Structure 1
């Protein structure tokens, strides 16, 4: 196919748009580009994230075949040291953060959640394409 170049926007369900936008700004150092009662647009990891007012209990997570709730997005950082630093910073900021894991592939990962229960993965390895293009 080849025509798709990148993901430009990700949509995340939230309960309270202003509270969620402020949480992302405070905990993850995002820039809020737009805010109204129904949505906020924040910049994070070279992408726009729309925080969209949703029904109570909605998250971006899904249940995998083993019945386990799963994240739908992985952020990449440059190396184990950076992974450990962001893990520590999120813990210090009161973000729900899992342990750093060895999942049997290159690098290490951990999972964190936002105040709405949306789960995200963080991986210590930058993709080869990203390294080639931007490093």
Structure 2
């Protein structure tokens, strides 16, 4: 079967305050703002568009698994353990709500962080092989 869905282009994030969220994503994560009005904003980050949508009451993307653990809906990838540790350190210095680096029993390591609305994100130390090949990204020396 030929692939018909090529990539995820946009992720929609519920936010309580568009202006404050734009400032957080731009200043804390380095996102690039491409559009903003009172009810929405479009940011580019990690080769994807993020559409911040103002919600009436506080909501987020998170869900709870069968064990009652809160889960994230999105994982960012970095190129190796050193990059993960460096980003983790930077996020802590920027006073983001960030968890500890974890070994989850699979390749690489992860940590989670939250935006001001409680949207939970994961960061993984492994880039997918397809991404490496398409963008000619070599493997890090720390793997």
- TM band (smaller chain): over 0.9
1:82 equivalent to 2:83? Answer yes
Could you tell me which runs of 5 or more consecutive residues in structure 1 were left unpaired when the two chains were aligned: none
- Residue of structure 2 in register with 1:3 after alignment: 4
Could you tell me which runs of 5 or more consecutive residues in structure 2 were left unpaired when the two chains were aligned: 137-143
- The runs of at least 4 aligned residues of structure 1 exceeding 6 Å deviation read none
- Residue of structure 2 in register with 1:15 after alignment: 16
TM-score, scaled relative to structure 1 = 0.98
TM-score, scaled relative to structure 2 = 0.92
Distance in 2 between the 1:71 and 1:85 partners? 21
The C-alpha deviation readout for 1:28-52, integer Å capped at 9, x for no partner, is 0111111111001000000000000
- Residue of structure 2 in register with 1:25 after alignment: 26
**What is the number of residues matched between the two proteins?**
135
For the aligned residue pairs, the C-alpha RMSD in angstroms reads: 0.8
The C-alpha deviation readout for 1:22-79, integer Å capped at 9, x for no partner, is 0001100111111111001000000000000013221011111111110000000000
Larger Rg: 2
